Structure 1
């Protein structure tokens, strides 16, 4: 049986540790908010993408941008740091339950991502008078947070890079965001970039939210794309783990 009290303690401890890092908070929470304010200010109010108002379309893009960054940068950097300090070896022989400790990372990540999602919806409501309704907002928030497991697996791979994990994770995060159409609609990209975008997990991840926003079913090809990336990242991670144990 899970010791709920112990789990909550570890989760709160992890969240406090994250929010002590001002640079991280700015990069993951403040930057998408800033981008949303700027992007919605420079385009006219009647602008739209595939029939969806730009202010709403951009909202989903920036929520995806923030959640994805939280997954890649928070977990990837944390895993790399703890691996370099042999922290996992210490945890195994300490009174702290190893399973609870790992689970606390996931729950603290989800807590921060859900808080960020809520913050973006509140910002859109007060800044752009956007009210998607409780049901639709919950659908979008839950789908995007659950689907971000793809980027959690990518973060675990990045975490194996040691001291290089933070710069490589940041570069990869920004490239996926730009090339995946989170900073500008894919329709506005040059043709060769738009062809590349539809293959990336970042585009297909955000597309889940865009589909819900347009009151459409989740795109089957996007779900398949994300599942394929998840399987690839998972298999690669398991392979590297086994090879490390053999050595």
Structure 2
């Protein structure tokens, strides 16, 4: 299993789309937004640079989770690699868990680079305890998005998987308030944002940066989406293997 995870990670690290869209873009957007907003105070009373650090690292992490699962998985189904995996001793659950583990591994570059840019260029400073809470929360919180990517990759062909993944990626980021504060949205859009997994995922980070305990509702929402999308990924995988 470790070798399988390593192969999956190395393959994505060689993918130019992954490097551009989910590693470089979040850092670039972070620096641009910080230059525009300057020293303004963001929602929650925290500095704009710290608020945007969470927003852009959340965007990059969910993008990495979706892009590193949806497109490669769809390509593997079409190429016959999935059929080859099925005849190996690897159980189906191990294949899915390996994909999720590789997706988690691939979220780290985007996540850590945005944090590094915030510290080095915007003088963002947090207490050690805040970093200890923030990094694992933002990392583990990407599980529902990785599961979503697996479901998409199991259901659609490769030429559809990429646009579907990008629509999902940008849709979750925009509607979830990662690019525009939810408080500035109309009431209906706010309700939609709170129902999506992307808002509570980032909201946990915003509260940790502010030195506050994340709301229990955010944690419950993320857990519920993880279970729901994980079940959807398993069902989609079974459907894909039944047709393979």
What TM-score do the two structures reach when normalised by structure 2? 0.88
Structure 2 residue runs of 5 or longer lacking an equivalent are none
Higher-RCO chain (CA-CA 8 Å, sequence separation at least 6): 2
CA distance in 1, matches of 2:238, 2:67: 24
Residue 208 of structure 1 and its aligned partner are, at CA, apart by: 1.1
2:164 to 143, 168, 171: 168
- Kept in 2: contact 1:61–1:183 (CA 8 A): yes
List per-residue Cα deviations over 1:42-86 (Å, max 9, x = no partner). 113133222111110110011110110011111111111111112
How many residues get paired? 241
1:196 to 174, 192, 195: 192
- Residues 1-247 of structure 1 mapped to structure 2, 5 A cutoff: 7=2, 9-93=3-87, 103-160=97-154, 161-163=156-158, 164-242=160-238
CA distance in 2, matches of 1:245, 1:121: 39
* SS class of match (2:66): helix
Change in 2 beyond 3 A, CA 1:149/1:245: same
Residue 186 of structure 1 and its aligned partner are, at CA, apart by: 0.8
Deviates more, 1:126-135 or 1:232-241: 232-241
* SS class of match (1:132): coil
- Kept in 1: contact 2:138–2:201 (CA 8 A): yes
What TM-score do the two structures reach when normalised by structure 1? 0.87
CA distance in 2, matches of 1:116, 1:194: 27
- Kept in 1: contact 2:151–2:234 (CA 8 A): no
Structure 1 residue runs of 5 or longer lacking an equivalent are 1-5
Two-structure CA RMSD over aligned residues (Å): 2.4
